[in-house]
Amino acid sequence: MGTEGYCVKCKAKVEMLDPKESKTKKGTKIAKGKCPNCSTTVCRMGGIQK
Ligand SMILES: [Zn+2]
C-alpha cells in the first residue's frame, strides 16, 4: 500500500516515491514524496497511509 498524492505536473494522483511524514506550520500532518513519473515533490494531507 503506497501513499497517494496529487502531482500538479501530471495532473493526476500518483503513488509517491520515498514518502516522508512531515508537519506544516499549523501542525497538520502531511506526507511528502516524489512523483514516480516526473520527480516533482508531491504532498498529501494526513500523513502516510499504512
Ligand atoms: Zn508527476
Residue-wise pLDDT for 11-48, tens only, equals 999 999 999 999 999 999 999 999 999 999 999 999 88
Please give the distance, rounded to the nearest whole angstrom, from the Cα atom of residue 27 to the centre of ligand 1.
Answer: 26
Determine the pLDDT at residue 9. 97
Determine the pLDDT at residue 48. 86
Examine the pLDDT at 49 and tell me if it is beyond 80: no
Examine the pLDDT at 1 and tell me if it is beyond 80: no
Full-model pTM: 0.79
Please give the distance, rounded to the nearest whole angstrom, from the Cα atom of residue 5 to the centre of ligand 1.
Answer: 10
Please give the distance, rounded to the nearest whole angstrom, from the Cα atom of residue 38 to the centre of ligand 1.
Answer: 4
Give the start-to-end residue ranges of the domains of the chain.
Answer: 4-45
With contact defined as beta carbons under 8 Å apart, do 7 and 17 qualify? no
Please give the distance, rounded to the nearest whole angstrom, from the Cα atom of residue 31 to the centre of ligand 1.
Answer: 16
Please give the distance, rounded to the nearest whole angstrom, from the Cα atom of residue 13 to the centre of ligand 1.
Answer: 9
Specify whether the backbone of 38 is left (phi greater than 0), alpha (psi in -120 to 50) or beta: alpha
